[in-house]
Amino acid sequence: MAGLIGITPKHLVEADPLQRFKARWPEGLPIVRPMYHMPVLFGGASEPGWRDARFGISRTFSSFNARSENFTESKLWKSLFGKWHAAVALSYIVEWREEKGERAPYLISRADGHVMWTPALTAPCFDDKSDVGFAIATRSPNGFFKHFHDRMVGVMDEAGRERWLAPTKHSPSELMECVRAPDEDELVAVKAVGQLMKRDAEDLSPIKTTGEKITIQVLEGKKAAKGAKQAKLGA
């Protein structure tokens, strides 16, 4: 599940070379929480282009993530799926892991260092129709992400982004393919420093990290080593 997300100045420019939002957020947006605003690329039934949108459609229920398996069943999501689409450019997603009895935050990003494009559904905010909100599409996790959470965002390649932003030209099954689980080696994680959930909304300083980047090889290697140790103790 994507509850805390962020985008750096580098990726703001990569996503939008015209730098329409760089002047407003020169430091990027290191932490975007539900009900915060950020730049989002609209398509579908909306006027195409970048807009400032709110992360979450309603304040009264969880509406910042949209479970893709409910797109054709949920009353809310099926009214938006296939029509009201957007793509969200991210540098990372914040997730937590249990380590020594405590929850440690990690920034999960693309291994190649490029911007991460995620599919989203959009709608006028329930509590303020003059504002527009978005919900990031989620799915079951891949082998990498399952070490952090039982849900993950869809990650689109360039072709998937173009397809997602032109939903009326594609079938529901073709659009569902855009809520893609990346290959296990496409993502990496690095441990973040500080209490990110308590971070002040006005603090735009970069999130500090520590340690080396964690890959699927590291995660699976540690898991295999732990299993071998447990087996040895049980022998």
pLDDT at position 217 over 70: yes
| Domains recognised in the chain with CATH numbers | 4-234 (3.90.1680.10)
| Alpha helices, DSSP H, located in 30-187 | 75-80, 158-164, 172-176
Task: For residue range 38-95, list pLDDT tens digits in order.
Answer: 999 999 888 899 999 999 999 888 889 999 999 999 999 999 999 999 999 999 999 9
The owner of tokens 């996503």 is 15
Give the confidence band of 3 by pLDDT, cuts at 50, 70, 90: confident
Question: What's the pLDDT at 86?
Answer: 97
Indicate whether 231 pLDDT > 60.
Answer: no
Sign of CA dihedral 3, 200, 38, 52: positive
Better pLDDT: 225 or 48 = 48
Tens digit of pLDDT for each residue in 124-171? 999 999 999 999 999 999 999 999 999 999 999 999 999 999 999 999
- The dihedral region occupied by 73, where left means phi > 0, alpha psi between -120 and 50, and beta the remainder, is alpha
- Structure tokens, 160: 């998937």
Rounded Cα distance between 17 and 41, Å, is 13
Give the bridge partners for 138, in sequence order: 67, 153
* pLDDT of the residue at 234: 55
- Tens digit of pLDDT for each residue in 199-211? 887 889 999 999 9
